[in-house]
């Protein structure tokens, strides 16, 4: 009798998880281009620049719930655009809808003026749906220091993030 109950519970749990993933497909959500921005303070007076981000060339491993790709950063200073590209590896924690992005090797970067340097901090972000039917998601979080403390706010979206002006 215990075996039948355990089997029934396991079958029910498997059916629930299988049906849940029919509607929530992490590979489809994550393996796309993510566009976003962040603010970086660059001196003790609190001056800052807006940094644009793109997460591209993403490959999701559904077994380990990790993914790899490239993070391209861009910043405009004195009317000139500067770029930096870094490889990354990320871990997706599906139970809390959180993504931890660890920066890897430098691919290329432009020299910044005024003794400003690129900072390639790791990132931690929560994943939110803004249009589940079309697999449109938003990541909101922070760049973090080596101890996991938040530094600067970041946000990414994986599609066209539309704002309703009629509200």
Q: What is the pTM of this model?
A: 0.75
Count CA atoms within 13 Å of residue 159 on its CB side.
Answer: 16
CB neighbour class for 123 (10 Å; exposed up to 12, middle 13-18, buried from 19): buried
Residue 167 pLDDT level (bands cut at 50, 70, 90): very low
Interval 69-79 mean pLDDT: 93
141 touches 126 (CB < 8 A): yes
157 touches 137 (CB < 8 A): yes
Interval 19-32 mean pLDDT: 67
Query: Alpha-carbon distance 71 to 103, whole Å?
Result: 8
From residue 67, how far is each of 51, 113, 149 by CA, in Å? 23, 33, 23
Count CA atoms within 13 Å of residue 126 on its CB side.
Answer: 5
Please give the CATH architecture assigned to the domain spanning 25-157: Beta Barrel (2.40)
The pLDDT of residue 102 = 96
Residue 86 pLDDT level (bands cut at 50, 70, 90): very high
Query: Alpha-carbon distance 160 to 52, whole Å?
Result: 15
How does pLDDT run across 48-67, given as a tens digit for each residue?
888 999 999 999 998 898 99
Instruction: Please state, rounded to an integer, the average pLDDT across all residues of the chain.
Output: 80
How does pLDDT run across 34-48, given as a tens digit for each residue?
999 888 777 788 888
DSSP, res 110: P
Provide φ and ψ at 134, rounded to 5°.
Answer: -105, 15
Partnered with residue 124 across adjacent β-strands are: 100, 142
């Amino acid at each position: 009798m215990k075996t039948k109950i355990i089997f029934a519970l396991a079958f029910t749990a498997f059916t629930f998880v299988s049906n849940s993933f029919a509607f929530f497909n992490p590979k489809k959500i994550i393996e796309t281009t993510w566009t976003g921005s962040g603010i970086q303070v660059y001196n003790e007076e609190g001056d800052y620049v807006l940094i644009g981000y793109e997460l591209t060339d993403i490959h999701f491993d559904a077994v380990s719930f990790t993914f790899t790709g490239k993070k391209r950063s861009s910043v405009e200073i004195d009317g000139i655009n500067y770029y930096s590209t870094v490889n990354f590896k990320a871990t997706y924690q599906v139970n809390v809808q959180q993504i931890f992005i660890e920066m890897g090797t430098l691919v290329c970067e432009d020299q910044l003026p005024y003794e400003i340097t690129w900072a390639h901090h790791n990132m931690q972000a929560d994943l939110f749906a803004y249009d589940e039917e079309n697999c449109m998601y938003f990541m909101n979080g922070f760049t973090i220091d080596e101890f996991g403390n938040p530094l600067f706010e970041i946000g990414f979206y994986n599609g066209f993030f539309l704002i309703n002006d009629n509200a």
